[in-house]
């Protein structure tokens, strides 16, 4: 186990097993008397933890409780999460993590990752060396400016990389000691945080420009030096930084942006599954995106790439994707369009009302990535059912409070016709005697498996082909039984099987493109599966 004994073991969450230490272990490790006398099985331990968890009054209290468990007993936390994934995932990530980030200053107990601020410029390598685990393979980093659909939460956004990395472990078996959450603190524009005495970060306005870019550059260089073969995932950066940082670093480091590429992959997988219900081909669809930020344009870019690889001319593929932003339909004639929107601007008269745009376009699918709740109104949903025998309705904004519509609204207002998916979980809906099980387009179906494949074969880069392959792999794992229930994603109970399949597919891309530094094994699936941590 280690050369440590006694209380040092009980204080190390990677070594502590609590009351499951056997009598022999207690003698050998000098634990006798430091624990209550009875030896419990892991199953008994989990029963006690679940009872305590379910006894909490709110999901935020459950979040705090689970983070406390992670800080005491890593194996027990992940065993609990893996065996109760449908119950635990919404508590350690969306939707609960959004509330946790909003309250991070008041619920803070212990640091779960590394904080790098402007004050650390010139010393980032030293800070990374302070991390106790030296074989780190995956970093999730945020600057806290666009946390879910909640906006600028500054340093309180640490809950996001902590939550994402817990899913890397629970869903794909990346060993928890090989993960590192990082928040880069350059200030915040949130007035409540600037005035909050409990706020954990720098109480100053955000620094931008050269100083910001220099800090990111120093971090990227130091991370790759301190942790060779590292995969760096950008998370919840605002549009003004997310696109340009991805463009700048994707060919210089093993990195990706989950809000752009992970969301794109899981949404594309949902579209592939939905087409098994509605019929037709991707290039025949009219996709209307509510929201033209990272998620929306990321989905559209991957959908266009998929169509082009199927032989569709790029111009025709681009013409299948339409966007609504805060000013209405994204059109070519509008001055001052941001760079990521220009590619999808359409040659059309300006339209500003959402219903008016739906009536003009008659889309086959509406995809909500706006962070604006209740955008899919009763009138819009009814129009979708009028234009389509089976309208595709994706309300993907997180957390639940920001969803464009609820599952119940989608099914009721379309008279049960909608093929629905959401970003956060919704309970099953019974309508006219039929029970629909709404699919959750959770990025956890994608990024853990992609990360596992990249790490396992030591891929030097992550690229769009990997995310396209991941989408197709995920869609193939949706059964006819799932589709019959209205679910266009597999059950979360299958998440490790899903992650392994995606990891193998991504690893195949890495080998095919000459990106893998690991010698190819005879049995790639068995090789990757052997690397998956089992709590």
For the segment 355-363, the average pLDDT, to the nearest whole number, is 97
Return d(Cα 417, Cα 278) in angstroms, integer: 10
- Whether 473 shows a pLDDT value over 70: the answer reads yes
Give the pLDDT confidence score for residue 335 in this predicted structure. Answer: 87
- Whether 44 shows a pLDDT value over 90: the answer reads yes
Return d(Cα 141, Cα 175) in angstroms, integer: 18
Q: Read off the pLDDT band of 1 (50, 70, 90).
A: very low
For the segment 120-144, the average pLDDT, to the nearest whole number, is 97
Is 164 known to be catalytic?
yes
Give the pLDDT confidence score for residue 134 in this predicted structure. Answer: 96
Distance of CA 391 to the CA centre of its chain: 26
For the segment 499-515, the average pLDDT, to the nearest whole number, is 98
262 neighbors 447 (Cβ within 8 angstroms): yes
Q: Read off the pLDDT band of 339 (50, 70, 90).
A: confident
Out of 17, 63, 78, 93, pick the active-site residue. Answer: 93
For the segment 288-297, the average pLDDT, to the nearest whole number, is 96
For the segment 394-398, the average pLDDT, to the nearest whole number, is 95
Tell me the HSE value of 484 on the side-chain side, using a 13 A CA sphere.
Answer: 3
Return d(Cα 255, Cα 139) in angstroms, integer: 9
- Ordered alpha helix ranges (H), 415-533: 447-456, 464-476, 480-484, 495-512, 524-530
Calculate the average pLDDT of the chain. Answer: 96
Return d(Cα 496, Cα 449) in angstroms, integer: 8
CATH of 7-86, one of 1.20.1370.30, 1.20.1740.10, 3.40.50.720, 3.10.50.40: 1.20.1370.30
Domain 261-441 has CATH 3.40.50.720: yes
For the segment 382-399, the average pLDDT, to the nearest whole number, is 96
pLDDT digits (tens, 9 = 90+) for 86-106: 999 999 998 999 999 999 989
381 neighbors 414 (Cβ within 8 angstroms): yes
304 neighbors 313 (Cβ within 8 angstroms): no
Out of 164, 383, 417, 458, pick the active-site residue. Answer: 164
What is the DSSP pairing of strand 328-329 with strand 321-325? antiparallel
CA distances from 357 to 70, 223, 342, 366 (A): 48, 46, 19, 11
438 neighbors 513 (Cβ within 8 angstroms): no
pLDDT digits (tens, 9 = 90+) for 259-269: 999 999 999 99
Give the pLDDT confidence score for residue 188 in this predicted structure. Answer: 98
Is 93 known to be catalytic?
yes
Same fold, 96-253 and 261-441: yes
The CATH code for residues 96-253 is 3.40.50.10380
Give the pLDDT confidence score for residue 338 in this predicted structure. Answer: 84
For the segment 217-222, the average pLDDT, to the nearest whole number, is 98
Return the closest-CA partner of residue 472 out of 364, 344, 311, 310. Answer: 310
Return d(Cα 126, Cα 218) in angstroms, integer: 12
Q: Read off the pLDDT band of 2 (50, 70, 90).
A: low
Return d(Cα 365, Cα 14) in angstroms, integer: 46
Domain boundaries, the chain: 7-86, 96-253, 261-441, 445-509
Return the closest-CA partner of residue 367 out of 300, 438, 304, 319. Answer: 300
Residue 79: CB atoms within 10 Å: 19
């Amino acid at each position: 186990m280690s050369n440590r004994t006694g209380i040092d073991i009980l204080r190390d969450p990677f070594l502590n097993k609590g009351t499951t230490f056997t009598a022999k272990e207690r003698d050998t490790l000098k634990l006798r008397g430091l624990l209550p006398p009875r030896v419990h099985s892991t199953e008994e331990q989990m029963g006690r933890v679940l009872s305590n968890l379910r006894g909490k009054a709110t999901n935020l209290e459950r979040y705090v409780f689970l983070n406390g468990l992670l800080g005491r007993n890593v194996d027990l936390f992940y065993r609990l999460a893996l065996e109760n994934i449908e119950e635990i995932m919404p508590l350690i990530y969306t939707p609960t993590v959004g509330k946790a980030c909003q309250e991070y200053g008041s619920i803070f107990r212990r640091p779960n990752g590394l904080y790098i601020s402007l004050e650390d410029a010139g010393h980032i390598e030293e800070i990374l060396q302070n991390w106790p685990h030296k074989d780190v393979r995956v970093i999730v980093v945020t600057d806290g400016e666009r946390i879910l659909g909640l906006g600028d939460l500054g340093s309180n956004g640490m809950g996001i990389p902590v939550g994402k990395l817990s899913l890397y472990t629970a869903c794909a078996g990346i060993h928890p000691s090989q993960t590192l959450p990082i928040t880069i603190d350059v200030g915040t524009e949130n007035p409540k945080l600037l005035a909050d005495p409990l706020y954990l970060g720098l109480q100053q306005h955000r620094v931008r420009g050269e100083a910001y870019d220099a800090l990111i550059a120093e971090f990227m260089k130091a991370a790759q030096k301190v942790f060779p073969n590292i995969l760096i995932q950008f998370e919840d950066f605002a549009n003004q930084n997310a696109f340009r940082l991805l463009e700048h670093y994707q060919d210089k480091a093993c990195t990706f942006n989950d809000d752009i590429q992970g969301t794109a992959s899981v949404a594309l997988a949902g579209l592939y599954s939905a087409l098994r219900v509605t019929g037709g081909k991707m290039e025949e669809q009219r996709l209307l995106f509510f929201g033209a930020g990272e998620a929306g344009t990321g989905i559209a870019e991957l959908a266009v790439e998929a169509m082009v690889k199927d032989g569709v001319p790029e111009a025709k593929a681009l013409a299948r994707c339409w966007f609504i932003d805060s000013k209405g339909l994204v059109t070519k004639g509008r001055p001052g369009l941001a760079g990521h929107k220009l590619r999808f601007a359409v040659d059309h008269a300006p339209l500003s009302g959402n219903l008016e745009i739906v009536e003009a376009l008659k889309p086959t699918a509406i995809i909500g990535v706006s962070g604006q709740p209740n955008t899919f109104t009763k009138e819009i949903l009814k129009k979708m059912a009028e234009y389509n025998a089976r309208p595709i309705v994706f309300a993907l904004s997180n957390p639940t409070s920001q969803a464009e519509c609820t599952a119940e609204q989608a099914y009721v207002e379309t008279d049960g016709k909608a093929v629905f998916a959401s970003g956060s979980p919704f309970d099953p809906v019974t309508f006219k005697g039929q029970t629909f099980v709404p699919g959750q387009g959770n990025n956890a179906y994608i990024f853990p498996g992609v990360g596992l494949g990249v790490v396992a074969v030591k891929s030097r880069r992550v690229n769009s082909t990997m995310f396209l392959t991941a989408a197709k792999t995920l869609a193939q794992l949706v059964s006819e039984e799932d589709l019959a229930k209205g679910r266009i994603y597999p059950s979360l109970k299958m998440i490790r099987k899903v992650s392994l399949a995606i990891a193998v597919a991504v690893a195949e891309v890495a080998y095919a493109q000459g990106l893998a530094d690991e010698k190819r094994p005879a049995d790639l699936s068995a090789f990757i599966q052997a690397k998956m941590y089992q709590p």
